[in-house]
Structure 1
Amino acid sequence: MGHDLDARLADRLAELRQQRGWSLDELSGHSGLSRSTLSRLERAEISPTTTVLSQLCAAYGRTASQLLAEVEDEPPQVLTPDQQPVWRDDDAGFIRRSVSPPQPGLRGELVECTLQPGADIVYAVTPVPGLEQHIWVLDGALELTIDGRTHVLDAGDCLRFRLWGPSRFRCPTGDPVRYALVVVLP
């Protein structure tokens, strides 16, 4: 993330915690993150990883795209590739492009995701129970575990489901996997 986006995200995270009347210790209990990490995030001293962002989103009951859209400027109706927000977690090997970010009054969003070879990302909880998702693999192969059931998707395959619990996204081959993710809020 860029420095300005990091600073806006830090401000938004602090604002969300204050709106709920939570102390850092209370947010730590809700998110499973240490008080120190939360404090550093809110001061923009560190950027959140994919896992940390997922834990915060679960604590606040929103998707990562919703949270990131809240810190972006009002999106225009047509977004050229250079206007689509990109978020990277190089340590996890994950790139996320909000092709069609969330917008007030709309329930769906479109995201392009890329996992590098060997990337393995586990989301312990869903930020919004019952979240509808459609995953269409564009290039490569994706191993996706939902509700304890593993699916291996190849280019052209689409898996659609409602997410109620943990999930795992893994790139099982030596080539990156690129997929489109459609998220529809319940």
Structure 2
Amino acid sequence: MRTAADLESRLAGRLADLRVERGWSLDELAAQAGVSRSTLSRLERAEISPTAAQLGKLCAVYGRTMSQLLAEVESEPPQLVRADRQQVWRDEESGFTRRSVSPPHPGLKAEIVEGLLRAGADIPYDRPPVPGQEQHIWVLDGTLELTVDGQRHDLQEGDCLRFRLWGPTRFRNPGPRAVRYAVLVVLP
């Protein structure tokens, strides 16, 4: 059985591999991603876990969605993804939990992610991981304030926002309870 520590270790190794594949130094990556050199070094050695914001910045630099990056550290996912086998990633600092309900898979053009933000959580992303990527965000429970390319959308339970992602986004839970939502990502 895979453990969170195993995932963190594989993720750290993959982040280091991606940088080396491009021939970038830690300083070059730090300048592009807006993450300090020392933090990048610690991430690549699995001394610390990345926050959602840091992982978002690195995904943008590498031109990958967060799901694609996490899928790269997983073995080939089965056709049927049982609930107890879905990869869950937590950023305790920001209050974000991400479940890969239907992970990226060769030959498929979409993935489904479940997001959970605790009350008061606020996560900005500077830029999209893949410009022009199509997303559909469906609020399952709670309230989500989602800003896409400077336009704020207040989503209630049952609402669905559809868009192509070209610029910054911000996921904010104004509270008073956690918000749970599904994201359908159409892969390029």
TM interval, short-chain normalised: over 0.9
1:185 Cα deviation (Å)?
Answer: 2.0
In structure 2, what is the equivalent of residue 171 of structure 1?
Answer: 173
Whichever residue aligns with residue 114 of structure 1, its letter is L
1:105 Cα deviation (Å)?
Answer: 2.4
Q: Could you tell me which of 95, 105, 108 is aligned with 2:107? A: 105
Aligned positions, number: 186
Mark the runs of 5 or more structure 1 residues left unpaired by the alignment: none
Whichever residue aligns with residue 70 of structure 2, its letter is L
SS in 2 for 1:79: coil
How far, CA to CA, are the matches of 2:120 and 2:5 in structure 1? 28
TM-score by length of 2: 0.96
Mark the runs of 5 or more structure 2 residues left unpaired by the alignment: none
Q: Percent identity among equivalent residues?
A: 68
Q: Could you tell me which of 155, 158, 182 is aligned with 1:156? A: 158
In structure 1, what is the equivalent of residue 38 of structure 2?
Answer: 36
1:25 Cα deviation (Å)?
Answer: 1.0
Q: Please provide the CA RMSD for this pair.
A: 1.0
Identify which range, 60-69 or 24-33, moves more after superposition.
24-33
Matched, 1:66 2:68: yes
Please give the per-residue CA displacement for 1:134-159, whole angstroms capped at 9, x wherever unaligned: 00110011110111111111111111
Please give the per-residue CA displacement for 1:26-84, whole angstroms capped at 9, x wherever unaligned: 11111111111111111110110001100110110101000000001111110111100
How far, CA to CA, are the matches of 2:122 and 2:32 in structure 1? 24
Whichever residue aligns with residue 51 of structure 1, its letter is A
Which aligned runs of 4 or more in structure 1 are off by greater than 4 angstroms?
Answer: none
